[in-house]
């Protein structure tokens, strides 16, 4: 495992992604609806995490599902959740850039905010396309640059070290021109739709606490920033960001964030 994969595994296994992922559950429903899932279809979910957003719901609809993730600790939660749901899913540890499957293995290929974190975007796009059979469909979601998560990327980048040379940053997936360039380079024509998801919290303070405690990138950032005396500054800036994207006026926090649904018909 190279250093980037080791770092990715450490980041996403920190905190409690299994509970935090519930915030994006509505996006999983959108992906399943757009890509189309039916009994007997073979579906690959790339960057599946603990499986609750696409892999397990797709299996409940009768699809034959494989869930892949670079972080085996998350797959342990996925096994438990699939058992609780009463469905069979094949869980595979693997890299979005090197999918361990033969060409044209799947009728549907999905990735909900997973594949966008792989360092080589064109190679990742090529792999998603390669394993999807002719006539099949691919659905990928990415955060837009001008939404809440897009601005969170900018904030985090201003505090944390720059990525290693050769690593393309995830925010590039928030630019439509980049999405088009990456997929067209591998002979695929993407259709891009902009959508919004709301993250609901009891209050702004609750939002900050949940991110600080459960969100792996924040837990990892704290390890770096606290010894530098910058953790408080970072959290203060994050609270300001939550305030700015929260339209609620009743003391709760409803943080709105835009994302792209990228669809490809093979």
Tens of pLDDT, residues 185-226 = 999 999 999 999 999 999 999 999 999 999 999 999 999 999
Q: What pLDDT does 9 receive?
A: 85
**With 90 as the cut, is the pLDDT of residue 168 above it?**
yes
Cα–Cα distance between 33 and 266 in angstroms, integer? Answer: 17
The CATH architecture annotation of domain 3-145+163-199+258-265 reads 3-Layer(aba) Sandwich (3.40)
The one-character DSSP state at 166 is: T
Rounded mean pLDDT, 60-79? 96
Contact 89, 78 (CB under 8 A): yes
The one-character DSSP state at 95 is: B
**With 80 as the cut, is the pLDDT of residue 1 above it?**
no
**With 80 as the cut, is the pLDDT of residue 3 above it?**
no
Cα–Cα distance between 197 and 256 in angstroms, integer? Answer: 6
Cα–Cα distance between 45 and 27 in angstroms, integer? Answer: 14
Rounded mean pLDDT, 64-69? 98
Domain boundaries in the chain? 3-145+163-199+258-265
Nearest to 85 by CA among 110, 58, 114: 58
Mean pLDDT of the chain: 95
**With 70 as the cut, is the pLDDT of residue 228 above it?**
yes
Q: What pLDDT does 80 receive?
A: 96
């Amino acid at each position: 495992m190279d250093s980037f994969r080791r770092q990715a595994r450490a980041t996403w296994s920190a905190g409690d992604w299994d509970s935090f992922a519930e915030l994006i559950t509505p996006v999983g429903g959108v992906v399943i609806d757009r890509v189309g899932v039916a009994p007997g279809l073979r579906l690959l979910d790339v960057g599946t995490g603990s499986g609750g957003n696409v892999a397990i719901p797709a299996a409940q609809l009768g699809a034959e599902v494989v869930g892949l993730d670079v972080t085996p600790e998350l797959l342990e939660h996925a096994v438990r959740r699939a058992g609780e749901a009463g469905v069979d899913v094949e869980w595979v540890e693997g890299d979005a850039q090197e999918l361990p499957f033969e060409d044209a293995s799947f009728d549907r290929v999905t990735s909900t905010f997973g594949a966008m974190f792989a360092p080589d975007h064109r190679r990742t796009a090529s792999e998603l396309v390669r394993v999807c059979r002719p006539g099949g469909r691919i659905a990928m979601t990415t955060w837009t640059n001008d939404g809440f998560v897009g601005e969170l990327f900018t904030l985090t980048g201003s505090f944390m070290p720059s990525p290693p040379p050769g690593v393309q940053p995830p925010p590039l997936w928030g630019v439509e021109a980049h999405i088009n360039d990456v997929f067209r380079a591998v002979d695929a024509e993407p259709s891009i739709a902009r959508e919004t998801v709301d993250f609901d919290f009891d209050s702004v303070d609750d939002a900050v606490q949940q991110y600080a405690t459960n969100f792996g990138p924040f837990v990892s950032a704290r390890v770096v920033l606290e010894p530098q005396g910058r953790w408080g500054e970072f959290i203060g800036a994050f609270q300001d960001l939550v305030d700015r994207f929260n339209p609620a006026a009743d003391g709760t926090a409803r943080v709105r964030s835009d994302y792209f649904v990228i669809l490809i018909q093979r």
